[in-house]
Copies of this chain bind each other. A is one copy, B any other.
Amino acid sequence: MTATEPTHRSRARIAAPGEGIGLDELALATRNHGMPLEALRYDVTPPGLHYVLTHYDIPAVDPATWSLEVGGAVARPLRLSLDDLRRRPAVTSRVLLECAGNGRARYEPRPVSQPWLLEAVGTAEWTGTPLAPLLEEAGPADGAVDVAFTGADHGVERGVEQDYARGLPLAEAVRPEVLLVWGMNGMPLPPQHGAPLRLLVPGWYGMAHVKWLTRIEVLDRPFDGYQNTTAYRLKVDAAEAGEPVTRIAPRALLAPPGWPDFMTRERFLRPGPVTLTGRAWSGRAPIQGVEVSTDGGATWSPAEVAPADPAHPWAWRAWTFPWTAEPGSWELLARATDAEGSQPTEQVWNRQGMANNLVQRVPVTVLG
């Protein structure tokens, strides 16, 4: 199977107009975890509130017998235990992660996959060791181009049985911020986040941060595994090869103000001054600004964005916007801008619902 000759099974399904969420999508939504948007209030997402997406089951990995293999096109293949890795220089880095499918469930028509609304985000303090020196010790061959990372999670997608594996260009893999991590928020990595070891590629969507890592293989050819050639591609027609999904596009999210209706999730607040708050980020270039609209996008005003913190270049940034809520119905929007552009206010559709950064819309009712 190749990306340019898709079989029926290799095509992502697109929901019919008006088709409700199916039990298959629901099974994904109930097992994968979103970050409730009120948790935008925390600089570091508390344990258990960070988003989680696992393609297959969370594997049971015994850290005592686990080891990491580094091989392929290298001069000196390595095998490292968790203790070996922990003896290496350790760093802790505050990094935002976002799933490439965030926002997919509001696409029209809807690609049938994990149905995220907007909650597939989180920021954690990750502890691990830089990958570059380890690769350097292994000694990549002169013609090396990609590095393949394989996890212990096993499953099948569109007919292809596989261990989850992703390729990353060697030039990206040796960036200093790329880590092999065993700790999260000062604790051992939890099972659902890849224990005992995961890859961390700050700035990239979540699919690059391979969990339950077992093998790193340097390649002298482009990686042609399923997750790179079929799954994470930006394409409108099934027949096209599409562009690969890479870095996180800019996004601002607003913590919905007021209180919700349990079932409808409608929001209510009392009239008067209210400070709208949220976070903004981009994985491709620094955030230049955040704008807020309280009238459904008719007019926009700049929010106050917290200064970039040199200690945490890969974290999200807080923003605030003062609003005087007057009785009635309002639609609140926020959009981020980085050096490459702003979030779109109309959807830019692709058939797998990837890298969508359409602006968030938060309808609210201000009581009389």
- The one of B22, B157, B158, B265 in contact with A27, judged by C-beta atoms closer than 8 angstroms, is B265
Interface assignment of A156: CB less than 8 Å from any CB of chain B = yes
Residues in B with CB closer than 8 Å to A60 are: 38, 41
> A155 near B57 (CB under 8 angstroms)?
no
A94 to chain B, nearest CB (A): 18
Partner of A119, one of B30, B41, B161: B30
Of A47, A113, A158, which is in contact with the most chain B CB atoms at under 10 Å from its CB? A47
Q: Which B residues touch A251, using CB under 8 A?
A: none
Q: Which of A202-210, A256-264, A297-305 contacts B (4 or more CB under 8 A)?
A: A256-264
- Measured between beta carbons, the chain B residues less than 8 angstroms from A115 are 26, 30
Assembly CA distance A156 to B263 (angstroms): 9
Chain A, interface size: which category?
A: 35 or more
Question: Are A56 and B259 neighbours in the complex by a CB distance under 8 Å?
Answer: yes
Given A21-B25, A34-B30, A48-B155 contact (CB < 8 Å) = no
Q: Contacts A48-B190, A190-B49 given: A54-B36 contact, CB under 8 Å?
A: yes
- A154: CB under 8 A from chain B? yes
Max chain B Cβ within 10 angstroms of own Cβ: one of A19, A31, A54, A58: A31
Evaluate contact between A262 and B157: CB separation under 8 angstroms: yes
Number of copies of this chain that the complex holds: 2
How many Å lie between the Cα of A113 and that of B261 in the bound state? 12
**A36 contact set on B, CB distance < 8 A:** 31, 54, 57-58, 192
A54 to B19, alpha carbons, bound, how many Å? 27
Chain B residue at smallest Cβ distance from A113: B263
Interface string of A152-195 (1 = CB under 8 A from B): 00111110010000000000000000000000000100111100
Interface residues of A (CB under 8 A from B): 13, 19-31, 33-34, 36-39, 41-42, 46-50, 52, 54-58, 60, 105, 112-113, 115-117, 119, 154-158, 161, 187, 190-193, 256, 259-265, 268
